[in-house]
Amino acid sequence: MKDNYMSIGFILIILNTIMVQFISLFPNYVFLRIGINIDNLWLSLHIFPFSASLIATIYAKRFKLLISLFFGFFAIGMTILGNFISNRFREQSDFEGLYGAIDMFQISFFINIPIALLASLIGFVLIPNSHTQND
């Protein structure tokens, strides 16, 4: 895991994007019928970018904050890419075209960058650095 933290982070964020696109295919009443609160489901999907940034903060030897923020920006890029793909294959979309991409960037920026910063803070403060002393 020490050497593969970047790959794991990429996989987590790509998995997050795939799950968001899959969940958005279904209307809200589908989740209500099976007893899943859609707001809690959307909120729980933020654990993937958080985990990617936290793993990067824990296992990176140098530039921990920079790598953690990189995953925040990668999550932003994947959000915009997911929105672009969604626009190409669906009839209706909330954010279309260049202005839609700009809107998605703004929304995703103010979600993913604080998540990456919070993960970095938790990684720096709560997790001991004993594994870096042994390397």
Total domains, the chain: 1
Average pLDDT over residues 83-87: 85
Q: List phi, psi (to 5°) of 84.
A: -65, -45
Quick one: pLDDT at residue 14? Answer: 92
**What pLDDT was estimated at residue 2?**
66
What is the number of alpha carbons within 13 Å of residue 23 lying toward its C-beta?
19
Binning pLDDT at 50, 70 and 90, where does residue 52 land?
Answer: very high
Check whether 115 has a pLDDT greater than 50. Answer: yes
pTM here is 0.82
7-12 contact pairs (CB < 8 A, 24+): 8/52, 8/55, 9/52, 9/53, 9/55, 9/56, 9/71, 9/74, 10/52, 10/74, 12/48, 12/49, 12/51, 12/52, 12/55
Is a pLDDT exceeding 60 seen at residue 132? Answer: no
Which range marks the domain in which residue 60 is found? Answer: 5-134
User: What confidence score (pLDDT) does residue 74 get?
Assistant: 94
Amino acid at the residue 37? N
Helix 47-59 vs helix 97-125: crossing angle, to nearest 10? 50
Crossing angle of helices 47-59 and 64-89, in 10° steps, is 150
